[in-house]
């Protein structure tokens, strides 16, 4: 009966369960979920960006499968808690895979992340493993060749003013391709 109470009183249903929210919508009941509340709090100034990034990352680490992520959240996942954590980054970047994310959006977020990563002096020693982890997750459940071609094209255009960083990223992509026996 909790849903019927919500329907009669015309309140907004708060639930992270998509099936329940869709069911509520069939009764014209508005609904929202945790990340939407976080977005509202961020936009209204009740939450700082760092706290927002940490909250979204905690959703992902709690096995939420569809949070929206961006380059900033990916970078935060590596550098959170005052240390470099590639394992957390791996879990967060898995959301860019074909099972969870539209290809063009995933590639654009990846390129923006790579651009921001290239400006992080404290991560230089870890760049190769970070980039390889990103690529592994990005091509998951996708055509690797098409995905990598698009990734390389966007890296070339985004890194016009950072040719040394571009070269290193392209070399890492090539290394990943060779280690996975991909040739195009």
Q: Give the count of beta carbons closer than 10 Å to the beta carbon of residue 170.
A: 15
Q: Within this chain, do residues 91 and 1 fall inside the same structural domain, yes or no? A: no
Is residue 104 included in any domain, yes or no? yes
CA dihedral 39, 103, 98, 179 (to 10 degrees): -120
Q: Are residues 7 and 98 in the same domain?
A: no
Residue 41, domain member (yes or no): no
Asked whether residue 15 is assigned to any structural domain, the reply reads yes
Structural domain includes residue 94: yes
* Residues 99, 163 within the same domain: yes
Q: Which of 165, 87, 84 is nearest to 123 (CA)?
A: 84
40 belongs to a structural domain: no
Pair (79, 131) in one structural domain: yes
What pLDDT score does 10 carry? 62
| Domain count for the chain | 2
pLDDT at site 178 = 95
- pLDDT tens digit at each of 184 positions of the chain: 454 444 455 688 999 998 999 999 998 999 999 999 999 999 999 999 999 999 999 999 999 888 999 999 999 999 877 788 999 999 999 999 988 899 999 999 999 999 999 999 888 889 999 999 999 999 999 999 999 999 999 999 999 999 999 999 999 999 999 999 988 7
How far apart are the C-alpha atoms of 147 and 45, rounded to whole Å?
37
- Is residue 152 located within the same domain as residue 102? yes
The predicted model scores a pTM of 0.87
The residue segments making up the domain with residue 27 are 1-32
In a shared domain, residues 13 and 83: no
27 with 75, same domain: the answer is no
C-alpha span between 145 and 173 (Å, rounded): 12
Residue 14 lies in a domain: yes
């Amino acid at each position: 009966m909790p849903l019927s109470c919500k329907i009669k009183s015309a309140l907004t249903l708060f639930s992270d369960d998509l099936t329940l929210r869709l069911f509520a919508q069939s009764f014209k009941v508005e609904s929202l979920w945790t990340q939407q509340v976080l977005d509202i709090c961020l936009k209204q100034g009740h939450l700082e960006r760092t706290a927002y990034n940490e909250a979204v990352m905690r959703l992902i680490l709690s096995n939420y499968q569809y949070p929206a992520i961006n380059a900033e959240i990916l970078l935060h996942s590596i550098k959170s808690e005052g240390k470099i954590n590639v394992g957390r980054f791996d879990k967060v970047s898995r959301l860019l895979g074909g099972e969870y994310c539209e290809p063009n959006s995933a590639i654009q977020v990846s390129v923006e992340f790579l651009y921001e990563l290239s400006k992080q002096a404290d991560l230089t020693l870890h760049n190769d493993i970070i980039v390889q982890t990103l690529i592994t997750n990005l091509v998951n459940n996708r055509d690797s060749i098409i995905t990598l071609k698009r990734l390389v094209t966007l890296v070339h255009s985004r890194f016009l003013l950072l040719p040394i960083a571009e070269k290193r990223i392209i070399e890492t992509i090539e290394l990943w391709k060779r280690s996975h026996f991909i040739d195009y």
